Structure 1
Amino acid sequence: MQWATLAAAALFAQNAAAQFNMLRFACSQLVVERTDPLVNPGMKFTPHLHQIVGGNSFNVTMDPKNDPAKLSTCTSCSFVQDKSNYWTAVMFFHHRNGSYIRVPQVGNGGPQGRLINKGGLDIYYIPSGRTTAFKQGFRMLTGNAGNTDPSKVQRANICHRCWNSPNENTFVGGAPCSGSDTVEIPSDPSCKMIRQTLIFPHCWDGKNLDSPDHQSHVAYGQGSGATGGGACPSSHPVKLPQVMYELMWNVTQFADRNMWPTDGSPPFVYSMNIGGAAAHGDYVFGWEGDSLQRAMDNGCNLNNACPAAGLTTQPDSVYSACTKRQQAVEDVDGWLKEMPLGSMAIKA
């Protein structure tokens, strides 16, 4: 079994290197707040909490006519040219006394090396053959924040892994969303971390930069998992770079079952107060000019500067310092009496 695991990890590393290379980089948290300009534009104190990374022009409305690449003065991502915004729900630990606390996060290790971030997530752009970069104004989401049925989720695209190694640099398992990965959040005290993976559709209709449900203008093509994607359907013929989010939730301090709920409810939930079947991610494109297209065309790799595409990187001390004040102001740190849903959060 150990050899099979090591072989799978090595195969993923080889495949990634063979796919005309791929971008893989860290993004620290820009802000944690209840806003969602994609699903709830203009609303403060949206139904659930998000963590947002990327360009600091992020705001409640995010008018698609405005270009984040031109409005942002910094980005919490390592590539200077990437002023896109990426956001996900927040994972909470539910204590048996009824209180909640946000699960801390770390950067990711793996075959391609360690990434450093302050909260936030790691971003992949994985090409497969000739890809067309997103256009200014493009946006999409994957997953369903209200879903409670794991059977309605493709495990190859949205999954969780029990990371039982001592730290993020000791790789566990094979390719993302394979092996024993699950749709639901693992409830196992042996988990040191829980890795969450969100893989976005890689096929576009070639016309609409968005759609009313923020999903219909894109589609998954043939194949599954983090491969860059296979052939696209005739309804969505344009192949995009495959976007993947990876998050490492550090659950080490919650291993004591005496802290877990006594009614059998899960100890880890997302900020909608439901499980992994509701995991979702939002994306608003904001790369400068044609830099992403040039990155795909020139085989730019991992989180390395790429002169051929004009890509430059910044140290973690710089991108982690790019933050933004909450627009929906509430205290979301420390133990909370209740999940931040509806009314403002209350400290325990």
Structure 2
Amino acid sequence: MHWASLASLALVAPSHALIRFGCSQLVVDRLDPLVQPGDVPAAHLHQIIGGNSFVPDMRPAIHDPAAMSTCTTCQPADDFSNYWTASLYFRARNGTYKRVMQKPNVGFEGQKGGMTVYYMQNQLADYQQEAKVTAFQPGFRMIVGSPTATTKAEADKFPQLSYTCLQDMGTRFPEFKAFPKEFCPAGVMVNIRFPTCWNGVDLDSPDHMAHMAYPASGTFESQGPCPASHPKRMPQLMYEVIYETAPFNDPELWPEDGSQPFVYSFGDATGYGNHGDYIFGWKDDSLQKIMDEECYVGCSSMKTQSVEAMNSCSVPRMVDEEIGDEGWISALPGHGQMNATLAVKPRAFRG
């Protein structure tokens, strides 16, 4: 379904809370406060958006993003959450790498990289959005997907992670589980949809996944019921990350054997390792108020800020290493790259 179609249908039918907003890039760094809390550097590179209190250790007992952040790269002024995904690279025929940049989505032109974030209280096909949901709470965090997945069977354990080969910026289908194997004129969109059923007790779990589940039958889109073990319906959190792959759409650059040349920062060249991370950081009950409002994208209870304000919020990288932005690098950061000059830059909680 095209989002343009969603917007047009919203004009003819009342709809309940569905918000879509852009977030500029906060930093690209080798940090991972969920999987490797406190480790500097972490195993692989991520692109991070959201509140500027992002640091290596964000355990709830010592860190509250909503209280510690002084700005956010996201359009909602009350959203100091952090959202992150692995960086994407292009591997040249000579084995060197260059990072693929993110670009803004339709409607968020001028945004500095980042991604588009959705919170939906019901499936997209139901424009009435009548089923109420419980918003995430302070201390909540989760992960979806697995960087160790190397087969479609492993990737299928996470049914709503996919890719779209953009023919233009309005393309939204078909979706694929693996990296596209052809040129994508307008880029590659990574679609990350999180599970929507919560056990109602734990704000986190050892693997950052077990406290959440998919519907017992059907899907979020078909209003499938939550399992008894996870009875609470939560918003559908979704990321759209658009990688600007057009600069690499040259047959002379792609592998001679016809394989696709893109690889995640953790070394996956299949795309099956697609995953996303989330730490809740909305101020007070601002997200619940939005979810309770009968609104569609432009919710009156959602305070917003300008693209200029979003772009001005950033933090310096803590890990000083070549990441392939300016030139080609011999290996992925943390994966065989010469790190003799790597230095760790300390950073205060408030950026």
Both structures adopt the same fold (TM-score exceeding 0.5):
yes
Distance apart, 1:345 and its partner CA:
6.2
Shift of 1:300: 4.0
Note the C-alpha offset of 1:224.
3.4
CA distance in 2, matches of 1:279, 1:320: 26
Q: Partner amino acid for 2:226?
A: C
In the alignment, the residues of structure 1 paired with residue 38 and residue 9 of structure 2 have an alpha-carbon distance, to the nearest angstrom, of 44
1:317 aligns with 2:320: no
Match of 1:331 in 2: 322
Match of 1:273 among 229, 245, 267: 267
CA distance in 2, matches of 1:261, 1:187: 11
- In the alignment, does 2:83 pair up with 1:79? no
Instruction: Find out whether 1:103 has 2:94 as its counterpart.
Output: no
Question: Is the helix fraction higher in 1 or 2?
Answer: 1
Question: Is the contact between residue 31 and residue 323 of structure 1 (CA under 8 Å) also seen in structure 2?
Answer: yes
Q: 1:157 Cα deviation (Å)?
A: 0.4
Q: Please list, as runs of the form range in 1=range in 2, the aligned pairs for 1:1-348 lying within 5 A after superposition.
A: 10=5, 14=9, 20-65=16-61, 66-109=63-106, 113-114=107-108, 116-128=110-122, 129-154=131-156, 156-165=159-168, 168=169, 171-174=170-173, 180-221=174-215, 222-224=217-219, 227=221, 230-274=224-268, 275-302=270-297, 304=298, 306=300, 309=301, 311-332=302-323, 333-334=325-326, 335-342=328-335
On the 8 A contact 2:19/2:299 being kept in 1, the answer is: no
Cα displacement (A) at 1:12? 8.7
Asked if 2 retains the 8 angstrom alpha-carbon contact of 1:156 and 1:224, the reply is no
Q: Distance in 1 between matches of 2:273 and 2:184?
A: 23
Question: What is the CA distance between 1:138 and its match in structure 2?
Answer: 0.3
After TM superposition, give the deviation of residue 344 of structure 1 in Å: 5.3
Compute the TM-score of the two structures, normalised by the length of structure 1. Answer: 0.86
Amino acid in the other structure paired with 2:245: V
Q: Secondary structure at the match of 1:104?
A: coil
How far residue 231 of structure 1 moved from its aligned partner, in angstroms, is 2.0
Structure-2 separation of matches of 1:63 and 1:23: 27
Output the CA distance in 1 between the equivalents of 2:18 and 2:204.
25
Q: SS in structure 2 opposite 1:320?
A: helix
Instruction: Quote how far apart the aligned CAs of 1:230 are.
Output: 3.3
Question: Alpha-carbon deviations, 1:275-299, whole Å to 9, x = none?
Answer: 3100100000000000000000013
**Contact residue 322 and residue 333 of structure 2 kept, 8 A:** no
| Alpha-carbon distance between aligned partners in 1 of 2:316 and 2:172, rounded to the nearest angstrom | 38
- Matched residue, 1:177: none
Structure 1 SS opposite 2:321:
coil
Gaps of at least 5 residues in structure 2 are 123-130, 342-351
Which whole-Å CA distance do the structure 2 matches of 1:76 and 1:54 have between them?
Answer: 5
With 183-192 and 118-127 compared, the bigger mean Cα shift is at 183-192
1:123-177 deviation per Cα after TM superposition (whole angstroms, max 9, x unaligned): 0001021100111000000000111012222374000011112xx2xx1245xxx
TM-score where L is the length of structure 2: 0.86
Secondary structure of the residue aligned to 1:106 is coil
In the TM superposition, what is the alpha-carbon distance from 1:340 to its structure 2 partner? 0.9
> Deviation string for 1:41-63 (max 9, x for gaps)?
01012111101100000100002
Superposed displacement of residue 264, structure 1: 5.0
8 Å contact kept, 1:25–1:115: no
Deviation at 1:21, TM superposition (A): 3.5
Question: What is the rounded CA distance, in whole Å, between the counterparts of 1:11 and 1:298 in structure 2?
Answer: 18
Sort the Cα spacing of 1:228 and 1:126 in 2 relative to 1 into closer, same or farther, 3 A: farther
Q: Take 2:6 and 2:117, find their aligned partners in 1: how far apart are those partners?
A: 20
Q: Provide the C-alpha distance between the structure 1 equivalents of 2:253 and 2:201, rounded to a whole number of angstroms.
A: 51
Preserved contact between residue 27 and residue 47 of structure 2 (Cα < 8 Å) = yes
